[in-house]
Amino acid sequence: MTALADYTPEQQQLIQQTREVVAALHAELPRNELVVWTAGNVSQRVKGLDLFVIKPSGVSYDELSAETMVVCTLDGQKIDDGTPDELKPSSDTAAHAYVYANMDRVGGVVHTHSTYATAWAARGEEIPCVLTMMGDEFGGPIPVGPFAIIGDDSIGRGIVETLKDSRSRAVLMQNHGPFTIGSDAKDAVKAAVMVEEVARTVHISRQLGEPIPIPQQFIDQLYDRYQNVYGQK
């Protein structure tokens, strides 16, 4: 088993900093009402190393700390990171690991069971791009990924297959819920918050009538402006 002691002091410091970031970001999930009980998880790649940090399995959000975050290799194996042997990584670790191993651009992954996004996933229906916010953030509709069972890398394969050629940073895994990706964990958490917001808004819109689709040329303009002009660079 790979051990924390196998890394240089500088690398160990980077691992610790990543654990602190990931622990802090988990607070955003219940704060934004994206999870209940112990469901959901955040992970982040350790920059420059074939490692990532993820939430432990079945631990309450108010018990999470940098010290309880679990460090794993890109094949999903926990390293000897100083946490107790019985502290297992998230049950979604294999999915996160597969995404990191197969999508170099991804630095953070988030999974939630947020109510509205999961309701769309339960129907196996993509969220159509009928809001400028969706054009900005996701560059089009939010796609649906295949049904897959937790336990191996099947979910990760579905995420990669669905998002590898998509501008979307979110996928609704059928009958399961949303997974989001980002340049780092904060970026992926933002996408998780945004996918729930648009899932809720579009759902409410459909109760009033049929939402009006945004033409592709305007989606492209929205996405380009938001990604390259908006905000402080």
Q: Residues with catalytic annotation?
A: 136, 230
Q: What angle do CA 144, 146, 150 make, to 5 degrees?
A: 120
Which phi and psi (to 5°) does residue 80 adopt?
-75, 90
Q: Is the dihedral of CA 28, 32, 35, 40 positive or negative?
A: negative
Taken as a whole, the chain contains a residue count of 233
Q: Check: CB of residue 177 under 8 Å from CB of residue 117.
A: yes
Calculate the alpha carbon distances from 71 to 81, 100, 107, 150 in Å. 6, 14, 14, 20
C-alpha–C-alpha distance, residues 4 and 51, integer Å: 11
Calculate the alpha carbon distances from 21 to 11, 64, 156, 161, 181 in Å. 15, 12, 23, 28, 16
Helix axes 185-208, 9-26, angle to 10 degrees: 20
